[in-house]
Structure 1
């Protein structure tokens, strides 16, 4: 199954945190690395508080053994390892790892809704994802390219000076 994860950081050493997250997500067995997007700098969304811009990227992996719950647990563990504290919704964070999709699975589980319920509205997810998978489809929503064509991409800037590397 294809696994798509969105990464974001706006506290501390943002780029180094994203690189560390890429390495950590694929360090354990069960999730194989496929691709990592370019890094984008993005304005925060969701309202207050005032905060620094994010660095965002998308990683694509494949699994034959991990289910959605195991992928979520790995994502939360990596967030925790990088000091993620959940103090306020939409607040600043050292690392955010969102599970965007796991294969074509659809779920209304409140702990892990699949596909991610807001991914189709988020240019900071769709722009980097489209860079590494031009044929990407978000289950139940359609093609990423099609969603992007109707989405405001203002506030999403490519950072050509920053390039994440595949995991070791």
Structure 2
């Protein structure tokens, strides 16, 4: 089984994915990390040296490679992955997908505390950060909403979200 976690940055994809994979005894794969290993560069280096179009092509290539494999895994996607190259269709056809849905306020709170580790938002002040999140969610929600399942993560611990996913897998 291939389980794919979709959602905006800081929605909990990595934390939930690692815990879920551990419980199911599946591999956990972070798509960005997978790309970094294949390219032998960080995502930031790929963007700066090769551009976003190159990154998005590699992202789609790696996503298809994983989804067409015989492996069982939990895959955490980058926030933009479902929005490009008809990736959401491939995800929907080849996996059980879960949109980890967090409100703008939850994402704002989490990202405010993680700005140093998030290059995309590191330089934004509080007002700009909230606006940035709202704009991105508005653009990306139609893609995220195509996931097979949607789970609201606001106010929930990682274990609660994992339990909800497990119940839907049965």
The alignment's TM-score, normalised by the length of structure 1, stands at 0.35
The alignment's TM-score, normalised by the length of structure 2, stands at 0.34
Look at both structures and tell me which one has the larger radius of gyration over its CA atoms: 2
